[in-house]
Amino acid sequence: MERETTSFDPRTWVDPKPVSAPVEDVPEEPAPQGRPLKPLMIAAPVALVLAAGGAYFLWPDSAGDAGSVSAPVSTATASSRAETPVDATSVRIIEVRGVDELGFSLEAMGVPTGDAFALAQEAIAALGTEDQVRIAVELADAGKDKAVRTISAELPNGSSVKLTRQRDGTFKRDTIVATATTRVRSISGTINQNTFYASAVEAGLPDSLTTPFAKAFSFDFDFQREVALGDRFQATWEESVTDSGRNVVPPRLLYVRLETDSGSKAYYAFTPPDETEQRWFDERGQGNERGLMRTPVDGARITSKYGYRTHPISQRQKKHNGVDFAAPTGTPIYASGDSTVAFAGPRGSAGNFIRLDHGEGMQTWYMHLNAFADGLVPGKAVRQGEIIGYVGTTGGSTGPHLHYEIRIEGEPLDPLTFRTSEVEALAGEALTMFTTQRDTTKAAVEKKR
């Protein structure tokens, strides 16, 4: 049966116009990708089920209650499959995340409460994702209640899944894998808004790449003081998208460049042999990583200054021992180097406070956090760049920011002038491989400019 391969493809879904009072607010399609929905029949999934015969039907037909039936559905079904009995079905399209949201949505559609949550649990388990998914639920009348026949969803990786309810209550799972095109894209822009994040998104950088971009420069620049309005940025990335414009795998940065008053830097992505994750190397194959990060917070979210701000503590004529990064509450904070957690908890005017031990008498301090990362307890080993907590304004603080200190043998150092110079350079075979890949990337960058 040919239709089986496409009939539950969510790319073809359109929201049915409910003829009775809607039971669920159907959210609009998320804006960022601007995915156009092709107008196509909603009838297809229903026809499919009917064509499969009565075997899957657990519920008695009910010809009544036409009010809940989407007119186009029943019409198309009846005419195309005249030999099978017409069944009162309707399709609802919702966006939900996790078991509870699906359970409540099914309940609101008229599925008995006990069934709704049991079904939701099975369905989410069968879909295999707790992420937000767009789901089409096919309902049949079952007395005064509604019963679920099929649940179809498009998964975050672009493939589609259809779950058909079996006689024994379990789901039969059918999957279609999305076909995708890989392409390389580039943007360049100027920081002309309050944050790098806003400027980069305006220039066309995918939302998900703003943080990795800023992180590539977190060793070189202090995003609070050295990145400002007028600075220029450039990015090249690879993406794999379906016909409908959905990313099959997350887009991946290939090249990043940042030009500021204090200098400019450019990096190429490269996965060294025997490693599994890409890292950043400059033109000559030198890594971007240093002993400590200069911006141990999601630099993309740091609010720009518009004139230097004065920290409330220094207004009270106290020595300011660190750097403040003004960022929205909840912005991730990173361990600035490989270390062990020495302290994580509330501590007077420091608010929620983390102290990391980097060995050889070196520590980094993080203050005023809104929350700690899960499982962050003294003695835990953390990797450079790992999220340890989230920006807040706890303790002696008048607005959300991270107060960051570097201390050696207890003595505070200026994080702005403190330089560690453990730059790793590629050599031998790895350098040869890097050079080849760098030139390929470079050609792509230049072609797109």
Which residues make up the interface to Zn ion (CB under 5 A)? Answer: 311, 324, 403
* Smallest gap from residue 404 Cβ to Zn ion (A): 8
Residue 265 or 311: the one with the smaller Cβ distance to Zn ion is 311
Q: List residues bridging with 138 in a β-sheet.
A: 91, 150
311 vs 438, beta carbon nearer Zn ion: 311
Determine contact, residues 266/283, Cβ cutoff 8 Å. Answer: yes
Minimum CB distance to Zn ion smaller for 183 or for 318? 318
Query: Which residue number, 239 or 405, has a Cβ lying nearer to Zn ion?
Result: 405
390 vs 400: CA distance, rounded Å: 10
Bridge-partner residues for 136, per DSSP? 93, 152
Nearer to Zn ion, 192 or 310 (CB): 310
Q: Which residue is nearest to Zn ion (CB)?
A: 403
What minimum distance in Å lies between the beta carbon of 397 and Zn ion? 8
Q: Where in 291-397 does DSSP place strands (E)?
A: 323-326, 332-334, 339-346, 352-359, 362-369, 371-372, 381-382, 387-390
Q: Give dist(CA 354, CA 358) in Å, integer.
A: 13
- Measured at the alpha carbon of residue 285, what is the angle toward residues 280 and 291, in degrees to the nearest 5? 55
Q: HEC states along 256-313?
A: EEEEECCEEEEEEEECCCCCCCCEEECCCCEECCCCCCCCCECHHHCECCCCCCCCHH
Minimum Å gap between C-beta 402 and Zn ion is 8
Cα separation, 11 vs 343, in Å, equals 50
At closest approach, how far in Å is the CB of 311 from Zn ion?
A: 5
What's the closest the beta carbon of residue 314 comes to Zn ion, in angstroms? 8
What's the one-letter identity of residue 153?
A
Specify the residue, 149 or 311, whose C-beta has the smaller distance to Zn ion: 311
Q: Which amino acid is at 325?
A: F
- Tell me the closest approach of the beta carbon of residue 361 to Zn ion, in angstroms: 22
Nearest to 101 by CA among 70, 134, 139, 142: 134
Q: How far is the CB of 215 from Zn ion (least distance, A)?
A: 22
Minimum CB distance to Zn ion smaller for 9 or for 324:
324
Q: Given the complex with Zn ion, which of 146 and 403 has the nearer CB atom?
A: 403
- Give the span between the Cα atoms of 414 and 294, in whole angstroms: 11
Residue listed under structure tokens 């309050």: 194
Tokens of 309: 């701000």
Helix axes 98-108, 113-127, angle to 10 degrees: 140
Q: Which is nearer to Zn ion, 87 or 324 (CB)?
A: 324
Give the angle subtended at the CA of 408 by the CAs of 355 and 395, to the nearest 5°.
35
Shortest Å distance, C-beta 324 to Zn ion: 4
- Least distance (Å) between residue 110 CB and Zn ion: 56
Q: Would you say 430 and 281 are in contact if contact means Cβ atoms under 8 Å apart?
A: no
